[in-house]
Structure 1
Amino acid sequence: MLSCTTFRSKITHQNTSPSKTQFKISEEPWRSQKDANFANGIIIDFLNKETGESYEYIPSISYAHTQALFKTGAIDIAVTGIFGAWMIKMENPAAKIIAIEKTNFVNVLITNPNRNDDNLQKRRLMGLEAIKGWRVGFGSRYSGATFLYPILEMKKVGIHPNDLYSCIHEPNQARLVTNVADGTLDFAFISSHLNAPLENIPAHQQSLIKKVWQSNPKQNLVIIAGNRLIEEKNHGVLLKITKSLRELTSLDPIDHNILQALDSSELTRPTHRLKNQVFKQISEASGSIIKEAEHKCE
């Protein structure tokens, strides 16, 4: 998770006072409120300095709440996963996706090697097959990262939700990890990045959490602008926000802090593939397979 390090602004940016216009930003509540407050403080500081505008972070209490805030215009920028982005676009066709993370996101299946009967190496050889007959944790039912994507991965190898002994939804990823560590769950799907799949596991739990399987890299984090930012009078602001986000590089220590606050790899512009392939796949999956999994899981 993010450490409470001091955020330093880039010395190449002019430190101008924000205007009176205030834009509001929110994110899906996948992490604790304390972590979200800290991370969004970093993001807002960055956007203030890049655009000269004022921003406010609006906490969200659920994934559905994030979508509702966007739909009603209570927020101007939403930071979501791919499933949340699809849901927002379904309700708000004019919404503009301004950035999406590069292909670096992975799903990770974790277990506590000290709890289950079989040894860890055997479970790793089994891959996703290892979850059959066990208690499995997913993220929010509205999460693409920790619910939709895992269900699609299960479908690829012929695993049905009914093959699990039981499953639960836990939107807070830290609590999912704790549930595996303390034996409440046998396995859980968490979201991470390609080169550091267990990067968000706290130090005191690292001996209790091991990776069983990880997916191929994909895109997940999406940043979407709402109606007010799309208006002609705010076009210049939107361009500044978009440019500054897409130019973030993990090689720069300051940029790395901002990307870490977003929990993202570097960002890029959305492509037609997002709409034509990824969103189509989500649309198809949001029918029967998701409903079956929702029926199975608490």
Structure 2
Amino acid sequence: MNLVTKKIGNLLRPKSSLYLSDRQPLTLLGKIKLFFTYLILSVWAFLILWPLYQMVRAAFNGLQYSHIVMTHNYEFSLRHFEYLFNETLYLTWVKNTIFIAGATALITVAVVSLTGYAYSRYRFKGRKPTLMTIMLVQTIPTFAGIVAFFTLHSIVSSVFPMFTRQMMLILIYSGGAIAGNTFVLKGYIDSISTELDDSAKIDGCSNLQTYRLIIMPIARPMLTIIALWSFIGPFMDFLLPRVLLTSPSSYTLAAGLFTLVADHRTMNQPAFAAGGLLTAIPIVILFLALQNQLVSGLAKGSVKG
């Protein structure tokens, strides 16, 4: 009977007296700080989402013509997308970008997986100087070497005529990604216990088998992140493709879409917005699709390490 009375009393107790968290209730100053925090975050979200909203609205607005105008008049239409597919080389730009991005990601992951493992697990002559050199190379802007890139392409293409400017662009992207991501993967592999390597060697594994069977499965989440970064890079870069690629049929998406707004005589900002929307959608979907796998893989890797 006393137990029933106690339970009834707990149910009738005012909710304000119940506090399930270990933290103390917010004071007036804490509530004010929390209010301004949410206010700043809301303003920041608005500044990000408003241009995106205008881009999406203009892409589907049939009343928009050569320029994007802030107007309340709206008529749903796909004519800007039709212009993009029928009057431009959009599909060619997509194909070029996917080729460059895919090749960059494959080369980067293949080389970084080896260099990161080597710098993490081996102590060889010249290790520190080469790491320092890689770090210093990262401080030099890529565009600063544009003359060297042109010269290198001229030399190589004179020997191998099949060496195109797109291949040169792949090597530039891959070189920059390899240098930076070597440090990233090295730091990740450093966190993996060397006892796993010792156990594998006791079981008779060679260094290559240890790398392939032990280290790489654990480092797979970081390799996935590196591949994703390397793949997205060519989609976002405009300057190098615009300078190195001279033919519109060889442009990437960023350089190709710029032609829609570069000349006022052929200006078509709504079609540019439609192209930007189509470019962003697959990247966002790819990132969201891999995000859960990345988080899950990182958690598993930390347990294994």
Larger-gyration structure (1/2): 2
Please state which structure has a larger fraction of its residues in strand: 1
TM normalised by structure 1 equals 0.22
